[in-house]
Amino acid sequence: MRRLTREDIRKWKTSRQEDTSDIQGKVSDIVSDVRKRGDAAVKEYTERFDGISLSHFRVTREEISDAYESLSGKYLDIIQEAAGNIRRFHEKQLPASWFDTSKDGSMLGQKYSPIDKAGVYVPGGTAAYPSSVMMNIIPAQVAGVERIAMVTPPGENGQVPIGVLATAQILGVTEIYKIGGAQAIAALAYGTETIPAVDKITGPGNMFVALAKKQVFGDVDIDMIAGPSEIAVLCDHTARAGEVAADLLSQAEHDERSSAVCITTSRQLADDVDREVKEQLKQLPRKNIAEASINFFGGTVVVDTMEEAVDTVNEFAPEHLEVMTENPYEQLGAIRHAGAIFLGPYSSEPVGDYFAGPNHVLPTSGTARFSSPLNVHDFMKKSSVISYSAAAWHRNVDKIASFARLEDLEGHARAVEKRKERFDD
């Protein structure tokens, strides 16, 4: 692994992003076509990109039930337990509406309401991601979303992976469509003859999916535009090099543009991690992908003090941050920017990916500076509540009217003053 500087990490914010100029037009054409022609367009793009001709998009209840029955009981038990952990964590995020009544009888407040309809994109094709099903659907269910529609690309046999369908069955989701790519995002955003539109779309996908989400934003809400995965491991001399290397490779195997960085105050540990990464790569099934990631966007940053190490982390604002120091809680307070923070030697990144409970849909590419993991609040909206009393109106009517006239909005001023007729009658 290369020795890196903070300047190297700064440059990655742009260099790790793919050039999408040749894709944007294609995505725009797909979105526009689906918006105009509905099911017919979705069917054509599914045949073109997935090589599957579908007579209907919706997964049948029999397909869902068969998938559940065919999955090993061992895996069903694990999914059930993981879903319980995830649900309990997200239930703690539920916000409460509040109302404040003053002595004069006025009431001000804030009312939380779930969105009505959510669409969840689950990557598919040659891979299966039951964890994505749980991480996107459970917070929506906890928020109280009434309708949740899931889309996922069909495999070579025209079917959805059994793990994905079994997880949906466990969660009670039955509205599932065998479509993917930009055409699926457009169908969710604008609706077709057989797929009703939703209010918000969440879930990761390839570049076509990400750009389609970006294009439909405004007509519907989206969670985020996800970039390549990334991990930073903040460690001192007490960390074990083999564990640090394994954790770096856990994200490097995702994508050639994934980033895996060790930030440490120990030069000896940095050398040991380098050797471990090379050795562990030899036995990794996805060696070619992980090796490219490490070569292009991986390395170690050696600094003199832990304060400098934490500053480097905050500048990187990584999607995943592991803190493997003598006392990781000492660093927690100073860490401002990270999607998820994993403290201690037993909190490796996959613990959060699958089982612990917090959401694994996280901000990437430095956006942890201003955004948060997917959560229950993302499926809810706030309404301000205003109930002015007569006493409050009397006390403030002239001030409000004057403020309106300051902005040259006479209609506003007259609207509040119109209530004076109530007292003239």
The verdict on whether residue 407 carries a ligand-binding annotation is yes
Tokens of 321: 């941050």
The verdict on whether residue 412 carries a ligand-binding annotation is yes
* Buried-exposed string 283-298: b where 16+ CB fall within 10 A, e elsewhere: ebeeeebbbbbbebbb
Question: How far apart (Å, rounded) are the C-alpha atoms in residues 380 and 97?
Answer: 11
Geometric angle at alpha carbon 376, from 374 and 378, rounded to 5°:
60
Residue pair 380/143 in contact (Cβ under 8 Å)? The answer is yes
Mutual orientation of helices 241-252 and 287-297 as an angle, nearest 10°? 100
The verdict on whether residue 295 carries a ligand-binding annotation is no
The verdict on whether residue 206 carries a ligand-binding annotation is yes
Tell me the residue ranges of DSSP E strands in 169-229: 176-177, 200-202, 221-222
| Sheet containing 298-302, strands listed edge to edge, beginning at the edge strand earlier in sequence | 298-302, 259-264, 230-235, 320-324, 340-343
| Long-range Cβ contacts of 69-76 (<8 Å, 24+ apart) | 70/162, 71/162, 71/163, 71/166, 75/163, 75/166, 76/166, 76/170
Catalytic residue of the set 253, 319, 322, 349: 319
Q: Which residues have a Cβ under 8 Å from the Cβ of 298 and sit 6 or more positions away?
A: 1, 2, 248, 252, 259, 260, 261, 277
The verdict on whether residue 190 carries a ligand-binding annotation is no
| Closest residue by Cα to residue 82 from 3, 167, 141 | 167
The verdict on whether residue 121 carries a ligand-binding annotation is yes
Question: How far apart (Å, rounded) are the C-alpha atoms in residues 46 and 54?
Answer: 8
Residue pair 348/339 in contact (Cβ under 8 Å)? The answer is no
Question: How far apart (Å, rounded) are the C-alpha atoms in residues 145 and 113?
Answer: 9
156 is catalytic: no
The verdict on whether residue 229 carries a ligand-binding annotation is yes
The verdict on whether residue 377 carries a ligand-binding annotation is no
Is residue 281 helix, strand or coil? helix
320 is catalytic: yes
Residue pair 341/332 in contact (Cβ under 8 Å)? The answer is yes
Catalytic residue of the set 320, 322, 349, 360: 320
Question: How far apart (Å, rounded) are the C-alpha atoms in residues 108 and 5?
Answer: 51
The DSSP code sequence of 183-199 is HHHHHHHH--SSS---S
- Name the CA radius of gyration of the chain, rounded: 26
Annotated binding site for NAD(+): 121, 183, 206
Tell me which residues are annotated as active site. Answer: 319-320
Annotated binding site for substrate: 229, 251, 254, 320, 353, 407, 412
Annotated binding site: 121, 183, 206, 229, 251, 254, 320, 353, 407, 412
